[in-house]
Chains A and B, each alone.
Chain A
Amino acid sequence: MMMSPLRPDYYALLGVSRNATVEEIKRAYFESAQRLHPDKNKAAGETELFLGVQQAYEVLSNPKRRTQYDATLPAAEQPPALPYEYRILYSRPSLVRLDEPQMLYVVLELRAPPEARKTTAPPLNVALVLDRSTSMQGEKLDVLKSAAIQVMRNLRPQDILSVITFSDRAEVIIPAAYHQERSRLEGRIHMIQPSGATEIYQGLEAGVKEVMRSLDSKRINHLILLTDGQTYGDEQQCLDLATRLAENAIGISCLGLGGDWNDIFLDVLSTRTGGSASHISDPQDIKRLLLEKFNALAQVFAEDINLEFKPVEGVDLSSVFRLQPDPSPVPTDGKPIHLGTILQDTSTRVLFEYIIQPKAVQSEKLAFMDGTLRVSISSNPLPVPPLRLALQRPVTDSPEADPPPPEVLHALSRLMLYRMQERARIEIEKGNIHTATRQLETLASNLLAQGERSLAQTVMLEVDFLQKQHALSDEGGKKMKYGTRALFLAPPKKEIVP
């Protein structure tokens, strides 16, 4: 073993911490072995790495040898050098000893190191899954075709793209491969004809097959689904597929066109993999949004950010929201929680909302989060060491009056707007039209106060619609939802005074 002049650090090789359990070591070994196995991987130097991983596992999986090995290590564990930067912000410096529940917000920021911002991002392996059902006929499909062609022209030589269309069955228009003769393939895209119903599972399944053909951990493996309609009966199949994709670090992004698609379903489908759904209200925006999506994928520095944590008595992680990039709620029911990607030039920020019960704040401090954050960076030959997120706050009797840091304040002011329309939706579900109307009016005045005129207008139009129809309009409701989400990215137009 000549990894380095020093003894190899077996823990670093496997990417586990010094106090890792036997299960963690076993799992880390299987993951690394799968990735590095010489049958699959012919890159120079990786066979040596594989042997190193083998040796590390042999030592660490045997309790006796592990104890002997541990004895040769320096007493204090050096915190492993992370190939990315991170920062944690809290809404307040301390918790208060109260006999009622209290909230705490935490913002986790992850960033690529400055030197990584200049390097070439990993090559893509993307399947573009396009709805060609009858409802796409006309402008939508025309713009979509020209957008798909533009995407192909923009690809780098190392990228792999496949194009699948679906209605009630799927067709592979362009199979996954490197594309030399792109102009010939453009003809195939021109030939796409609208017909049939929308069955999303058909499209997804075909897309997954194409991505699987050149599945490679050194690539960004991703599906982009574009649809304008609802799928019927195959939702559960789609969601099960998404769960399997998440396990293989394959992401799904959804683009919903117009007002008729099922936003709740596509949100769940994409966020399960750490991706997100977006709304395209004007077909003319298809091109811009699709190209933006590809540009973002071509700038991925780290992917498959996963958070696993142990439950803490009296502490409830009530919601998680990714603030940037791709603002989106993150489902907290999955294990682990998939937080998405880190782009080269944009930091990733995730907001955690905790509700803390009185019984948890009895002692001097509260360790409210004991978790492990894992990311995978395909340009890194070694597995990235996991980041232990052991977060705690002191508990005091009298609160401190410091306002939250500006980043947290900004995020919360935007979350408040997003939540207002979510609350109004719940009231509409319950049939409380009057309450929902008042909430939406308040939302509109808050949007105006923050300088968001056009979104405020959208909300006021929905208030009118709600009065007449006792429901939100398909299109306007989505504009409101995705419009308030997009505000997370906008810099504050009006200064919020803490």
Chain B
Amino acid sequence: MIICSNCRHENVSGAVFCEECGAQLDGVETLVTQAITNEQIEEELRKKAPRPETDSAPANSWLSLHLMDSGKILPLASRNEFTLGRLSEGQPIMPDIDLTPYQAYASGVSRLHAVVKRDGSQVLVMDLGSSNGTYLNGRRLNPHMEEMLHHGDIVALGKLKIQILLRNI
């Protein structure tokens, strides 16, 4: 069988799309177990994302958000979970990270759009039922379902593109 990497649903071998969530299955590769060493993964990651200057980041930041349109890098530290969105008047729950200065409104960012959190050594993203959706490397995420992030991944909140820079992974 093929286990969908998106929702863990078990599909019959040879299926091309997951019958549960509709994600395209990686197909036959998952039929055989491949041994992947840490070196290979690191090599892949280095190829994927040349690390931009992160000198200014505080030493304990576990995640930095690279706002691709403005080039600004926001290092995040001290907490294990951050909600992303934009501030607007009369809003009962406020996002931890206000993206208003980065054209959030024009890019279609919801007031409470998505959350990034750290779970052990993993970093996860989850859409909070936003109007315009959260995309991971161009694929739209199902709301309220956690997805793993890797160094160099591009997360788009509506049209606002953010590159994920992870530390020590």
> Which residue of chain A is the closest to B1 with respect to CB atoms?
A100
Number of A-B contacts (CB under 8 A): 75
The smallest beta-carbon distance between B30 and chain A, in angstroms, is 10
**DSSP majority for the B interface?**
loop
Within 8 A of B (CB), among A364-411: 398-401, 403-404, 408-409
**Cβ of A439: which chain B residues have Cβ within 8 Å of it?**
20
Find B140's partner among A355, A443, A445 (CB 8 Å cutoff).
Answer: A445
Q: A interface, how many residues as a size bin?
A: 35 or more
| Residue A105, interface by CB 8 Å | yes
Which residues in B have their C-beta under 8 angstroms from that of A98? Answer: 13, 31
A399 to B25, CA, bound (A): 14
In A94-109, which residues have CB < 8 Å from any B CB?
A: 96, 98, 100-105
Contact, CB under 8 Å: A412 / B16: yes
8 A Cβ contacts from B12-63 to A: 12-22, 24, 27-29, 31-32
Are B16's CB and A409's CB within 8 A? yes
- A104–B13 alpha-carbon span in the complex (Å): 9
* Chain A residue at minimum C-beta to C-beta distance from B30: A399
Q: What is the bound-complex CA distance between A22 and B5, given in angstroms?
A: 54
Question: In the docked arrangement, what's the CA distance between A441 and B12, Å?
Answer: 23
Question: Are B31's CB and A103's CB within 8 A?
Answer: no
Cβ contact within 8 Å between A416 and B14: no
In the assembled complex, which residues on chain B have CB atoms less than 8 Å from the CB atom of A355?
A: 12
CB-based contact B142/A103 at 8 Å: no
Q: Is the CB of B13 within 8 A of A403?
A: no
CB of B133 closer than 8 Å to a CB of A? yes
Instruction: Tell me the nearest residue of chain B to A409, going by C-beta.
Output: B16
What B residues does A403 contact at CB under 8 A? 27
Q: How far is the CA of A408 from the CA of B27 in the complex (A)?
A: 14
A255 to B14, CA, bound (A): 36
Residues of A within 8 A of B143 (CB): 441, 445
Among B13, B133, B140, residue most surrounded by chain A Cβ atoms (within 10 Å): B13
Q: In the complex the two chains form, what is the Cα distance from A496 to B32 in whole Å?
A: 25
Contact residues, B87-143 vs A (CB, 8 A) = 133, 139-140, 142-143
Contact status A101-B12, CB under 8 Å: yes
Measured CA separation A105–B16 after assembly (Å):
9
Interface size on B, residues (CB 8 A): 23
Instruction: Say whether B16 contacts A442, CB under 8 Å.
Output: no
Q: Which residues of B contact A91 (CB under 8 A)?
A: 14, 16
Chain A residue nearest in CB terms to B14 = A103
Q: A412-B17, A419-B19, A443-B22 are in contact. Are A103 and B28 (CB under 8 A)?
A: no
Pick the contact of B133: A356, A417, A423, A448 (CB < 8 A).
Answer: A448
A257→B22 CA distance, assembly (Å): 30
A404–B28 Cα gap in the complex (Å)? 11
Q: Is the CB of A399 within 8 A of B32?
A: yes
Whether A446 contacts B22 by the Cβ 8 Å rule is yes
A374 to chain B, nearest CB (A): 29
A 411-453 binary contact with B (CB < 8 Å = 1; else 0): 0110111011001000000000000000101110110110000
Closest to A91 in B: B16
Counting CB contacts under 8 A, is A92 at the interface?
yes
- Contact at A404–B16, with CB atoms within 8 Å? yes
A350 to B28, CA, bound (A): 24
The closest CB in chain A to the CB of B15 belongs to A103
* A449 contact set on B, CB distance < 8 A: 139-140
Tell me whether B19 and A413 are in contact (CB under 8 A).
Answer: no
| Residue of A403, A417, A449 contacting most chain B CB atoms (<10 Å) | A449
Q: In the complex, are the beta carbons of B13 and A102 less than 8 A apart?
A: yes
Question: In the complex, what residues of A have CB within 8 A of residue B142's CB?
Answer: 441-442, 445
Give chain A interface residues in 467-498, CB to chain B under 8 Å: 496
Is B28's CB under 8 angstroms from A399's CB?
yes
Of chain A, the residue at the smallest CB distance from B26 is A401
Q: Which residues in B have their C-beta under 8 angstroms from that of A356?
A: 14
In the complex, which of the residues B16, B18, B21 has the most CB atoms of chain A within 10 Å of its own CB atom?
Answer: B16
Closest-CB distance, B106 to chain A (whole angstroms): 20
B28 contact from A96, A417, A442, Cβ within 8 A: A96
A96 with B13, Cβ < 8 A, contacts A442-B142, A445-B140, A445-B142 known? yes
A498 nearest CB neighbor, chain B only: B24
Given contacts A412-B16, A413-B17, 18 further A-B contacts (CB under 8 A): A91-B14, A96-B13, A102-B12, A102-B14, A104-B14, A355-B12, A399-B31, A404-B16, A413-B24, A416-B19, A417-B22, A420-B22, A442-B22, A442-B142, A445-B140, A445-B143, A448-B133, A496-B24
Please report A residues at the B interface, Cβ cutoff 8 Å. 91-92, 96, 98, 100-105, 355-356, 398-401, 403-404, 408-409, 412-413, 415-417, 419-420, 423, 439, 441-443, 445-446, 448-449, 496
What are 14 pairs between A and B in contact, CB < 8 Å? A102-B12, A102-B14, A399-B29, A399-B31, A399-B32, A403-B27, A404-B16, A413-B24, A416-B17, A416-B19, A416-B22, A420-B19, A445-B142, A446-B21
